[in-house]
Structure 1
């Protein structure tokens, strides 16, 4: 038995082809030589996700060459597994009739995702080559806004009349197995008007006797999804209720499709990555992004940051005389601003995450403000004492130690307040708190830190 399982274990732990530099070099070389037979041999046998990974990691010209030479022979699921950036680049190299046929073989949610990345001119040719059902499904999906449930919705689902028994459903699914979705977790029980009234998990169906009425084993009420719902809200609903799938209904409450957890996993990943990048003031940096595109995305926030830095420098210039008289102020003032900035970033990260998860609402905002402020003040006391001791020993100056201790305490308190109030204020004004909060929080902690330390030192030491 061990000899049979060892190869399987080795296969599971093997290095992904996209991380093998020799394999990637071979693919790039074969594409450069326009050697279609060698490309077929190299890529044959790769799982579709591994194949998509390889096409993501090779240079753009190599990916385009692969599409031109052997694109028709690659699995159609590859189009759904590629990132939208690489898919957008590769699709023009594939014949419209091939892409149209491929859309018909994909689940409707994947077909809609692929169609959304096709150039408008080419899309007309692609849909003309697709069958009528595929064309109608794609056109309906594209009628909804991006990042909504309508784009995620899979139009294939399994429904059963409320009067059915377990045996009726099983027999019907076996008879029409070619029409079943590739993956489904529930059978939706509908009334005569196609309105879902409950759902039966596939596991419950299999465990039940054939004569059992569906009404006896279905769960209700259902969480219903509207196609206009934002995908982030859908993902939060899935997380809250631990759902594997959810029915999508139209304005009249009729069942039109379903959203499944595999799509929700992608949404959660995308939204988390987006919020993380926005917190740093940058946009998504794909492998295919050019330097110019990256510069355009990041430069505006650096410009805002420059403006806040200039204001902070102006504040420092107001205390030029004090700094000339006591050089230690120039040595120590970055510590006050830096520690305040870090304390503010900690509170900001908690606030942005809570807002994104909808844990932070107007009803409990006061509790968050008090908690983060008191946390920052408590940390401020600790580090004020530590830094005061360091300064007293370093500079042999008790008054300077006293001044920096008070400045640290004041800056930490303001940092905690800013970290929670800035994103709340931005959200109230309709702005995305993840995009610009860090710039304003840093501005507050810099200004307060310099003002508090230089001002207190001037009053205590030089007045």
Structure 2
């Protein structure tokens, strides 16, 4: 976990991956179903053995699992059973298991451990995984864990914690392989073999200048296929994607996706190499950010089934209250046309159709727009083109739905005038929904607000209000009813 700036950082033994399932497949066939999930009967059997005091038997069954599956086991049992399971596992509750574990489950388990135990686990992890364990702890607990760590490990963690949450500085690993640009390939190979304190996992070597600024990268395959007397500077690739240490993790993920990166150097404000980020970390970020945006659209908070009930309640109820306030706008509009509704009851039956279809149309556009903003597909250069595109789509959709709804209404109620009113209201509301679905998130983005958080509330208010206003207003204006 420590940063070794004097350069070469590979492994001290032959590379092994204790997370590889290759040798475990046969022993896990009875534990996992066809979708690679733990079977319910396996979970029940393990808990039964633990509760009966047959800890060795329980450990023997759990010991055949991959660390990620052991983490899943903790997530599948109840809060009350997790302390028992942890005591049964003992030293099998390894850093790899904790690194794979859901953050809410991990936080509760960490609370059961002494600071010295947490410090020992964190010291065995990569810096980014250790930070993920420590960063959510209470300040006093965090300091107790840091004090129990070795000075070098503590310094690396404290340095990572100094960066903003969800930034490249929190995400990066400090163990890396860096060599000066003047060395030859043979020197690099010799040091990789002889240095026993180098990191165990890497895909490329970073080449740095005397100021420790990255000037190029060199894949291991290039080094192995190059004669020993060739200078590393003649083999390296000078073009590289550098990640600023304070860059948001979502932007980092977009760079990895755009440039098909396996790893990338992280640099400080002076351009010095301070760490690296690898694609295995980015996979988690992409999954996390994608799920986060979808959940924010619905106001569902983290949306994690392991999240404490109080946190979930607090995250959801504030948006329901906000929605209640915006719903009053729509109800006020309906109230203005109370007399018309009393005169023609069919209006009350048809109003939800206009508002509902408009709301769905707005949600479709909103989802596409928020995704485009998150993927950097929608910028100042093409935002007006996107608005115009959604307007044309809304008119096409509105015309189609208007034809269907208008014809059906005219036939059902034997009233062509009412059919024409609902058709016109459909066109108006779906058009407004399309414009609102793209314009509201764009506006929030320009105001430096997260468009995924509040857009759905305002889009729903707009489509409901405009749907009722257009339908009831056109009904009155057409002479179908009188106020």
Normalised to the residue count of structure 1, the TM-score between the two structures is: 0.93
The CA deviation string for residues 217-254 of structure 1, in whole angstroms up to 9 with x for no partner, is 21123222222111111111111111111111222222
Question: C-alpha displacement at 1:279, in angstroms?
Answer: 0.6
Please say if 1:209 is aligned against 2:227.
Answer: yes
Unaligned runs of 5+ in 1: none
Count the aligned residue pairs. 458
The structure with the largest helix share of the pair is 1
Please say if 1:313 is aligned against 2:331.
Answer: yes
Q: Distance in 2 between matches of 1:81 and 1:8?
A: 19
Q: Distance in 1 between matches of 2:435 and 2:39?
A: 49
Is contact 1:60-1:288 (8 Å) kept? no
Query: Is the alpha carbon distance of 1:73 and 1:396 closer, same or farther for their aligned partners in structure 2, counting shifts above 3 Å?
Result: closer
Is contact 1:84-1:117 (8 Å) kept? no
1:193 to 183, 193, 211: 211
Query: Is the alpha carbon distance of 1:309 and 1:119 closer, same or farther for their aligned partners in structure 2, counting shifts above 3 Å?
Result: closer
1:405 to 403, 406, 423: 423
**Relative contact order (alpha carbons < 8 A, sep ≥ 6): 1 or 2 greater?**
2
Q: Distance in 2 between matches of 1:100 and 1:185?
A: 28
2:78 to 50, 59, 72: 59
Q: Distance in 2 between matches of 1:423 and 1:238?
A: 25
Q: Trace 1:23-422 onto structure 2 (pairs within 5 A).
A: 23-176=42-195, 178-422=196-440
Is contact 1:162-1:190 (8 Å) kept? yes
Q: Distance in 2 between matches of 1:222 and 1:172?
A: 24
Which shows bigger deviation, 8-17 or 70-79?
Answer: 8-17
SS at match of 2:243: coil
Is contact 2:38-2:69 (8 Å) kept? no
SS at match of 1:147: coil
SS at match of 2:175: coil
Q: Distance in 1 between matches of 2:210 and 2:453?
A: 48
SS at match of 1:225: strand
1:453 corresponds to: 471
Question: C-alpha displacement at 1:392, in angstroms?
Answer: 1.6
Q: Distance in 2 between matches of 1:199 and 1:311?
A: 59
Which shows bigger deviation, 25-34 or 246-255?
Answer: 25-34
Query: Is the alpha carbon distance of 1:439 and 1:192 closer, same or farther for their aligned partners in structure 2, counting shifts above 3 Å?
Result: same
Question: C-alpha displacement at 1:35, in angstroms?
Answer: 4.3
The CA deviation string for residues 62-101 of structure 1, in whole angstroms up to 9 with x for no partner, is 2222323433343221121112211111113223323322
2:13 corresponds to: none
Q: Distance in 1 between matches of 2:124 and 2:310?
A: 38
Unaligned runs of 5+ in 2: 1-21
SS at match of 2:264: strand
Question: C-alpha displacement at 1:350, in angstroms?
Answer: 1.0
Question: C-alpha displacement at 1:212, in angstroms?
Answer: 2.6
Question: C-alpha displacement at 1:422, in angstroms?
Answer: 0.8
Q: Distance in 2 between matches of 1:74 and 1:316?
A: 60
Q: Distance in 1 between matches of 2:340 and 2:111?
A: 66
Q: Distance in 1 between matches of 2:374 and 2:219?
A: 30
Q: Distance in 2 between matches of 1:264 and 1:245?
A: 9
Q: Distance in 1 between matches of 2:50 and 2:304?
A: 22
SS at match of 2:358: helix
Q: Distance in 1 between matches of 2:332 and 2:215?
A: 66
Question: C-alpha displacement at 1:376, in angstroms?
Answer: 0.5
Which shows bigger deviation, 67-76 or 135-144?
Answer: 67-76
Q: Distance in 1 between matches of 2:271 and 2:233?
A: 19
Which shows bigger deviation, 307-316 or 329-338?
Answer: 307-316
Which shows bigger deviation, 429-438 or 116-125?
Answer: 116-125
The CA deviation string for residues 344-375 of structure 1, in whole angstroms up to 9 with x for no partner, is 11111111111111111122110010000110
Is contact 1:108-1:155 (8 Å) kept? yes
2:17 corresponds to: none
Query: Is the alpha carbon distance of 1:283 and 1:124 closer, same or farther for their aligned partners in structure 2, counting shifts above 3 Å?
Result: same
Question: C-alpha displacement at 1:171, in angstroms?
Answer: 1.5
Q: Distance in 2 between matches of 1:94 and 1:42?
A: 24
Query: Is the alpha carbon distance of 1:106 and 1:290 closer, same or farther for their aligned partners in structure 2, counting shifts above 3 Å?
Result: closer
4+ aligned runs moved over 4 Å, structure 1:
7-14
